[in-house]
Structure 1
Amino acid sequence: MFQNNPLLAQLKQELHEQTPRVEGIVRAHEKGFGFLDTDNKKSYFIPVAKMKRVCNGDKVSGTVISNNDKESFEPESLIESALQKFIGKIDFQDRAMVIFPENMSTNLAIRCKINKQVSEKLKEGDWVVATLVSHPLQEERNQFLAEIVRFVAESNSPYQLWLKTLARYDLETHAPQIESLTINNAELDNRQDLTDVNFFTIDSEDTEDMDDAIAISKGEQGDYQLMVAIADPTAYVLQDSELDHIAKIRNFTTYLPDFNIPMLPKELANDLCSLKANQKRPAMICKMNIDETGNINSDEITFIPAWIESKAKLTYNNVSNFLENNEDLTTNNIIIKQQINYLANLAKIRMTWRQTNALVFKDNGDYRFELDENRQVKSIIKESRRIANQIVEEVMVLANQALTLQLKNKIGFGVFNIHSGFDSKYIEQVVTFLNDNGISEFNKESLLSFDGYVKLRRIIDNTPFLSTKLRKFQSSADFSIEPHPHFGLGFDAYATWTSPIRKYGDMVNHRLIKAYIRSQKLMPPDKEQLKSMNERRKMLRLAERDMAENLYAQYLSDKIDETYSAEIIDINRGGARIRLCDIGAFAFVPLSMIHSVKEEIVPFPDEGVIKIKDKVCYKLADIVTVIICQVKNQSIIAKFSDEGKK
C-alpha cells in the first residue's frame, strides 16, 4: 500500500534534497577504500563497497553520510570518467575476459568485449587498448564494461614497454608504407648540379637519415663562404598526396631509446633522401657569407635546388678527436680536412656572436641508454657535447637564421618557432623572487618584453640557483605563421628547415622557399596544422618522459643503497626533487630523509631553499650526495647521505 504513495515519494525527495551533496575527484587506496577530494581541499572517506562503483580519478557527485560524527561519501552520479580510452592487461575470470587498466587498483577488473577489427587471439597477460562502454554510475547499466579496440603487445614481448608507451599517447608503431616512391618530374628541372662540391656529413655512428651536409671556404678578408645542403624529401612528397597526408598527421619522427618511428617511409628517410656518402641526392642548398665577427650578410643569401654527392660520412667523435687530439680523420680528402678546421674556427666565432647578440643554453650533455639483447638497460652513458657537436649546431643555427631572413623579408609568412619568455600569470612571483635576491632593476613590463628577458638571462645564466628557480616560470614554445620573437634563443624571429626528413614544419618551409624561387603562388601554412604540430610535440615529449622514467626505474631497481651525485632541481612542501648527475635519472628526497626531526626542517618552495633550525642548508642547484632507497613503479626515492652537500 506504500509502494505508490505520492506522499512517501515526496518525503524521500525532500530528505534527499536536504542531505549534503558534494562533488570531487576519487582517490583510490591500494587497500580497497578511497577518498573524494573536493575543490575546497576537504576529503571524504569512501567505503570499500562504494569504491566498487567508481575508479581512481573519476569526477563524481553524491551525498555526504553522517554516522556517529563520522562522515563518508556515497557516489551517485558520474561527471567525468577517468577511464575513457585506456591501456590494460588481459585476464580471465570465471571464463570471462576481463581487463585490468594500467595505473589503477589491482581490484579493478573490467568485463570486456572485443571489437571486430581486433584480429589477434588474446591471451592472459596481453596488453590492449580499450574504451569504456558503461560505468556503474551511469543510468540503465550498473557495471563497468569495456570494448577492446586495439592489440598492443604480448605479455612476453621484449618491446612491450615501448609499444605500451606509444599506445598510451596514440602514436604510431611503424614507419609509413608506400608502394611507389619516385621523384616528381617537375623537381628534375632547373636543379643545379653541385656533385663536384666537397660536401660531407657529420653524424652519429649509427645515423641513417642524414639530412644535412656542409661545405665551406674562407676568403682573404677572413670571411667564410658557407654552403649548407639539406635533404629534399619534398622532391618526392607532393603536397596533398597520400604520403603528405600521413606526414601531416605524424608531424615528427618519434625518437624513443633504441626505437625510432620515422615520419616518412624508411626508403625515403634512410635511403633516397639521406645524404649518403658517394650517392647522388636531391638537396636544397643555402649559400651565405659570414664575416670575421660572425654576422651573416643578409644581401648575399641564396637558396638553390640542386644535386649533391657527399664525399664523406664523418662522425662526431672522429671529428672531435681530429680537432682536439690531432687523431686521423676517416677520410683522405685534403679539402675536407681543411674545411673541418675552417668550421672549428667559425663555430668559435659564432658561439661568441650568439653570447653577445642572442642567447646560448647551458650544455648539460645527453644521456644514452645501452640495452642488452633482451632490451634491458645494461648501462647509461653521459655524452658531453664536444667541438664537432658545436660545429653542427652552429651551422644549423646559421642555416635557420638565413631561412628566417628570407621568410621574414621576402615572403612574409612561414612556420616560425616562437617562445614568449615568462608566463604572464607568474610574472609577479618572478619580480618578487628577483627583488628578494638583490635584482631590482626589472618590473613586470620589462620582464615580459623581449629585450628585458634577454637582458635578465644574460645576468642569471651564470648563476645556477637563479636560473634553475626561474625556469619553472617559463611559457611553452609554440608555432606561428607570422614571425614573432623566440625569447629562449634570443632571436627576434626563428624558423627551421634543416630537418625535413623528421619535421613536417620544415617540409612546409621547403615548399615555401621553392615556390618563391620558382615565382609560384605563395600560400601561408594552415593554422590548424600548426596546432596539430604543437599537440603532437607535447605527446612525443610525454612519451619520451614515460620511457625514460621506466628505463631509469628498471636500471636503478637493483642499485638500492648505491651512492650518486645529484643536483637539486626543485623544492616543494614534501621535499626536494633531484637529478642524478652521471645518469640523468630524476628522484625525490622526502623531508624525512633530509632531516629526522620534523619540527626542525622547513621547505620554502617560493624561495627555493630548505632550512634546518632556521638556517638555509640546501637550495636549488646545489650538488648533493644521495643514496637510492626505494624504486616503486616509476618513482625513485633517495635520501641525502652523511656527506650531504658537496
Structure 2
Amino acid sequence: MSKIIAKKKKKDGPKQGVPFIKKKNKAAKDAELVQGILSRHKKGFGFVTPEEGTEQVPEDGERQDIFIAGKNLNGAMNGDLVSVLLIPKEETNRSREGIIQQILTHGVTEIVGVFEKNKRFGFVVPDDKHFNNEDVFVKKSDWKNAENGDRVVVQITKYPEEGNRAEGRISEIISKKGEPGGDIKGMIRQYNLFQTFPSRVNAEAKAVSRLKEQKEADFTPIAPEELKGRVDLREKNIITIDGPDAKDLDDAVSIEQLPGGNYLLGVHIADVSHYVAEGGAMDKEALKRGTSVYLVDQVIPMLPKALSNGICSLNPDVDRLTLSVSMEIDSTGQVVRHQIFESVIHSAHRMVYDDVSDMLERNAVDLISKYDDIYKDILHMKELADILHKRRDLRGSLDFDFDEAYITLDEAGIPVTVETAERRIANRMIEEFMLIANETVAEHFYWLELPFVYRVHEKPAMDRMDEFKNFVRGFGLTLHGSTENVHPRVLSDMLKEVKGQSYETVVNTVMLRSMKKAFYDVSCDGHFGLGVKFYCHFTSPIRRYPDLIIHRIIKEAIGAGIGEKRNRQLKKKTEEAAELSSKAERHAQELEREVEKLKKTEYMSYHIGESFEGVISGVTNFGFYVELTNTIEGLVRVESLKDDYYDYEQTKYRLIGQRTHKIYTLGDKVRIQVARAEVNDKEIDFIVAEEETKAKKKTGAK
C-alpha cells in the first residue's frame, strides 16, 4: 500500500521563501493531504497530478488528478509542488476536488513574456497561458533597458500571496518588438532550451573541428592513427539521401547484389563518439539536451554545428569516419549474416529524396543520366526496400500514414503556406534500411548481454483497446481477438481495411491514441508497433543521445571488450541516458507541436471568413474538431450550431440534433468557414459554412 503524505499539522512552519497557506474547511481535522504538481488552466482553475507514493493507488491503477477551483489555488503558480487537502466527496459534485494547503516548492523561477511598461513600473505578460492573470510586476529599476513590446525573461523575486501579484526583475531580452522569429525564440526559451552552447562546449567543439578542417583544407588524408582498426570503404559506391535542407547528414547507404541473388546492404552512420569524448563538456551537454529539436525554420541542435553540420556530417567528396552495419539479406527479407564494424567512407553523392523518387517513380531521364554511376544501385535499393516492407507487413508492423505539415515562413517569420509534406518512395526506402539496421544491432547486443539502451513500445492497455473496439464497430469494423493481448497484425489488417475510406484518417488517429508511447529503456521488452522483439535507435547519433551512447558500447565491444568494472559503469550510464532521453524526447515533441500550432493559427488568422473542406477529426460535448486537407485543425463550437440543440453521444463519437436528427460524426466531410484565429491562445474556431448547412439533409441515426 502506498503511503499517505501526512495528516494536517497544527504548527508547521513554511519552507524558506514559500508561504504556508492556512485555510479553514469543513473537512475533518485528519482529512487526507496529497502531494503533487499543479497545472493551471488559462480559465483560472487548475489540476494537481499526485506524485507516486503520496497516496493509495486505486484498484484500476489509474491515479486521478485533483480539481482545484480558482478560489482555492491560494497563490500557487503553474508547476508548483503543493500539498492538497482533499474535499470529502459528499461536499463536492466532482470525483476529486481539493484546496491547496501549502506550496512546498515553486516549480518556476523565471517566466517568458511580453513587457508592458508605464512611466514608473511595468508588467511582464506571460506567453504561457498556464500563467493566466499572473502578470509579473517589475519596478523601473529592474527593467534592464527593455522597451514596450519586447519579449523578455523575468526572474521571480517575490511570489504572489494574499492577492498580490508576483514581482520580478528582467534578466534577459529575448527579442525586440516586431523582430522576425521572436515568437518562436520566446517559446524555445519558455521550454528552457537554448540554440547556443556554453563556452566550454564551444571550445571543445572548436578544438576538435579546427584540427579536422585544417587537414581538409590542405587535402591531407585522415591520419593513420584514426584509420587503425577501421575497414576502408572509400572505394565503395556510398551515398546519402536526405531532405534538401538537411545539413546534419548522419546516415549513408550502399548496396550490392551478390552472386546467389541476396543483397548486401550497408548502413554507415557518422562516428560521432570518435569526436565526443565520454564525460567531456560536449557529452554532458548532449546528455542534458537528449535530442535535437526541429521547429519549422529553426533547429536546436544536440551538438554544436561544428560537429553536426561539419566534421560528423557525411558530406560528399570528403573522407568521414563511420560505424557500419553490413547485412546480407535474402529474398524474404531475412538477415542471414551481418557484421558491425568501424569504417571510413567517402560519399559519392549527396542525394535528395525528390530526385531519387523522380528517378524511380517517373523515370526522370535527366536525373538518371546525371547519376548514371549509381542508378543501378538505386534500383537495387528499391527492390530490397520492397522486400523489407513486405516482411514487416507480414509480421503485422503498423504503418500509420499520416500527413505531416510543411510550413513555409517569409523573411518576417510570417507563415505564407501550410501544405502536407510528401512521403515518397525514397523516404520510405531509407526508412526501411534504418529500421532493419536498428533491429539488427539491437538483437546482436541483446545476445551479448551487455548494458544497452533499447527502444521500447509496450502493448496497448486492455481498456484502451476495448474503447477502440467499440469505436470501430460504429464503422461496421470488427477488431478480432482478445483486447487483453491484442496482436499488432490485427491492428495492421484494420489499417489496410480502412485504406482509402473517408474515415481512414479518423480510424488511424483513434488507433494511435489508443497506443502507449514509445520510450527508451535498458530492458529489451520489444516494440509493439513494429512487431519486433529487438529494437534500438542506432542511426542518428548526431541528434539523439541514445544512439551516441550505444555507439560507444558497440565500439568498446568490438574493440578491446568490456570488463566487469566497465560493465557496472555502463549499466548506470545507460539507465541515466534512457531516463533523461525519454523525458527530453517528450519535452521536444511538446514544443514542436506548440510551435506548429502557433504558426498554423497565425496562418489561419489571414484567412478569416474563407471556406474550406475538411473532415471531422474529433467530437466532444462542446463541439467537434475539423481537420483540413493541409492538416490544420479547428473547433466548431456547439453553440455556433444555431439550427438545433445537439446532444453528445460519447460512445458513438457524434452530435445529433434533437429536432432535425442532423448528425455530425467522426469521419464526416464538412465544409467550414474560418471564424476566429487567436494566435496568443493558439486556438482556431470554425463555423459550419452556410452552404453546408443548407445542403445537409435529415439523416437519422447511422
TM range (shorter): 0.7 to 0.9
The corresponding residue for 1:351 is: 389
CA distance in 2, matches of 1:76, 1:484: 40
Question: What TM-score do the two structures reach when normalised by structure 1?
Answer: 0.83
Give, in angstroms, the shift of residue 36 of structure 1: 8.8
CA distance in 1, matches of 2:665, 2:587: 32
| Deviation by residue 1:476-530 (Cα, 9 ceiling, x = unmatched) | 2111112111112222221121111111111111111111111321533431221
2:293 maps to amino acid = T
Counterpart selection for 1:124 from 148, 160, 169: 148
The corresponding residue for 1:111 is: 137
Alignment of 1:21-420 (within 5 A): 79=103, 85-102=110-127, 103=129, 109-112=135-138, 121-137=145-161, 144-174=166-196, 177-178=202-203, 179-181=206-208, 187-297=226-336, 300-327=337-364, 328-329=366-367, 332-420=370-458
Whether contact under 8 Å (2:468, 2:510) holds in the other structure is: no
The corresponding residue for 1:509 is: 550
Counterpart selection for 1:526 from 563, 567, 574: 574
Gap change, CA 1:35 and 1:247, over 3 Å in 2: closer
- 147-156 vs 432-441, which moves further: 432-441
**What CA RMSD, in Å, does the superposition of the two structures yield over aligned residues?**
3.7
Gap change, CA 1:151 and 1:563, over 3 Å in 2: same
Whether contact under 8 Å (2:635, 2:685) holds in the other structure is: yes
Q: SS state of the match for residue 322, structure 2?
A: strand
Is residue 604 of structure 1 aligned with residue 628 of structure 2? no
The corresponding residue for 2:512 is: 471
Gap change, CA 1:61 and 1:439, over 3 Å in 2: closer
The corresponding residue for 2:627 is: 579
Gap change, CA 1:520 and 1:121, over 3 Å in 2: farther
Give, in angstroms, the shift of residue 127 of structure 1: 2.0
CA distance in 2, matches of 1:174, 1:162: 15
1:311 maps to amino acid = A
Give, in angstroms, the shift of residue 202 of structure 1: 1.0
Whether contact under 8 Å (1:420, 1:485) holds in the other structure is: yes
Whether contact under 8 Å (1:566, 1:625) holds in the other structure is: yes
CA distance in 2, matches of 1:150, 1:419: 41
Give, in angstroms, the shift of residue 197 of structure 1: 0.5
CA distance in 1, matches of 2:644, 2:66: 27
Which structure 2 segments of 5+ residues have no match?
1-22, 49-63, 88-98, 213-222, 499-503, 697-702
The corresponding residue for 2:664 is: 618
CA distance in 1, matches of 2:427, 2:607: 32
Whether contact under 8 Å (2:256, 2:263) holds in the other structure is: yes
CA distance in 2, matches of 1:409, 1:104: 47
Give, in angstroms, the shift of residue 468 of structure 1: 3.3
Give, in angstroms, the shift of residue 241 of structure 1: 1.3
Alignment of 1:420-435 (within 5 A): 420-423=458-461, 426=464, 428-430=466-468, 433=471
- 235-244 vs 431-440, which moves further: 431-440
Whether contact under 8 Å (1:588, 1:637) holds in the other structure is: yes
Give, in angstroms, the shift of residue 564 of structure 1: 2.0
Gap change, CA 1:17 and 1:349, over 3 Å in 2: closer
Give, in angstroms, the shift of residue 104 of structure 1: 7.2
1:459 maps to amino acid = M
| Deviation by residue 1:297-327 (Cα, 9 ceiling, x = unmatched) | 1xx2101211110111111111111111111
| Deviation by residue 1:109-143 (Cα, 9 ceiling, x = unmatched) | 43236999x9x6322222222343334436xx955
CA distance in 1, matches of 2:620, 2:576: 38
- 607-616 vs 354-363, which moves further: 607-616
CA distance in 2, matches of 1:608, 1:144: 43
Whether contact under 8 Å (2:620, 2:648) holds in the other structure is: yes
Whether contact under 8 Å (2:76, 2:103) holds in the other structure is: no
Gap change, CA 1:441 and 1:19, over 3 Å in 2: closer
Counterpart selection for 2:676 from 616, 623, 630: 630
Give, in angstroms, the shift of residue 446 of structure 1: 2.1
Give, in angstroms, the shift of residue 554 of structure 1: 1.0
2:541 maps to amino acid = P
Whether contact under 8 Å (1:469, 1:608) holds in the other structure is: no
Whether contact under 8 Å (1:468, 1:621) holds in the other structure is: no
Gap change, CA 1:396 and 1:616, over 3 Å in 2: farther
2:362 maps to amino acid = N
CA distance in 2, matches of 1:198, 1:57: 53
| Deviation by residue 1:279-309 (Cα, 9 ceiling, x = unmatched) | 1110111111111121211xx2101211110
2:540 maps to amino acid = S
Gap change, CA 1:595 and 1:461, over 3 Å in 2: farther
Give, in angstroms, the shift of residue 352 of structure 1: 1.5
Give, in angstroms, the shift of residue 257 of structure 1: 0.7
Give, in angstroms, the shift of residue 94 of structure 1: 4.2
1:366 maps to amino acid = E
Gap change, CA 1:19 and 1:239, over 3 Å in 2: closer
Whether contact under 8 Å (1:251, 1:503) holds in the other structure is: yes
Give, in angstroms, the shift of residue 568 of structure 1: 2.3
Equivalent residue pairs, number: 600
Give, in angstroms, the shift of residue 221 of structure 1: 3.4
Whether contact under 8 Å (1:563, 1:626) holds in the other structure is: yes
Gap change, CA 1:564 and 1:357, over 3 Å in 2: same
Counterpart selection for 1:458 from 464, 473, 493: 493
CA distance in 1, matches of 2:272, 2:175: 32
1:534 maps to amino acid = S
Q: SS state of the match for residue 235, structure 2?
A: coil
CA distance in 2, matches of 1:360, 1:223: 26
CA distance in 2, matches of 1:191, 1:113: 63
CA distance in 1, matches of 2:272, 2:257: 30
The corresponding residue for 1:554 is: 602
The corresponding residue for 2:636 is: 589
- 404-413 vs 426-435, which moves further: 426-435
Whether contact under 8 Å (2:113, 2:186) holds in the other structure is: no
1:638 maps to amino acid = F
- 77-86 vs 569-578, which moves further: 77-86
Give, in angstroms, the shift of residue 367 of structure 1: 1.9
Which structure 1 segments of 5+ residues have no match?
1-15, 65-74
Question: What TM-score do the two structures reach when normalised by structure 2?
Answer: 0.77
CA distance in 2, matches of 1:285, 1:507: 14
| Deviation by residue 1:374-429 (Cα, 9 ceiling, x = unmatched) | 11111123222111111111111121122122122224442111111324564554
CA distance in 2, matches of 1:233, 1:57: 36
Q: Once the two structures are aligned, what percentage of the paired residues are identical?
A: 23
1:351 maps to amino acid = H
Q: SS state of the match for residue 221, structure 1?
A: coil
Give, in angstroms, the shift of residue 198 of structure 1: 0.9
CA distance in 1, matches of 2:313, 2:251: 9
